[in-house]
Amino acid sequence: MESSFVGEIDGAVIGFLRGTIDHIPARGKVYTVDRVFVVEQARQLGFGDALLAAAMELAMSNQCVAIEANALPGDRETKNLYERAGITARNIIVSRPLGSTIY
C-alpha cells in the first residue's frame, strides 16, 4: 500500500513524504519511508516532523510492526529528523566501487 502526505503553506506545497506498507514474512507489516522532502525555506518549521508523525500514525493504524527509512551519508538534516522521531540506525551498508564502475 502506497501513501503520500503533503505539507502546505497558504496552498503552496512546501514538502511531502511518500511511503509504502509491505508485509515482510516472519516480521509482519513494515512502513518504509521512500522519500521525504521539505523546501529549504520551510525547514526548521516542523513540517518534516509533522509529515513523519502522519506517516507513523498511518503505520500504527495499519498494525505495522516498524517504520524504516534511509538517510544518505552526510545528510545530517534527514538523520536528525528520523532521530527526533525515535528512528535509529540498525544497519549501515558500506561499499567501494571496483574497477571503472561508476555509481
50-90, pLDDT tens digit by residue? 999 999 999 999 999 999 999 988 999 999 999 999 999 88
What average pLDDT does the chain have?
Answer: 93
Q: Write the CB contacts of 10 (distance below 8 Å, at least 6 apart in sequence).
A: none
Show the cell assigned to 6: 503533503
Q: What is the pTM of this model?
A: 0.85
Query: Helix H segments across the chain?
Result: 47-61, 76-84
pLDDT, tens digit, 9 for 90 and up, residues 15-28: 999 999 999 999 99
Q: How does residue 102 score in pLDDT terms, banded at 50, 70 and 90?
A: low
- What domains appear along the chain, each with residue ranges and CATH number? 2-84 (3.40.630.30)
Compute, in degrees rounded to 10, the torsion defined by CA atoms 31, 89, 42, 57.
30
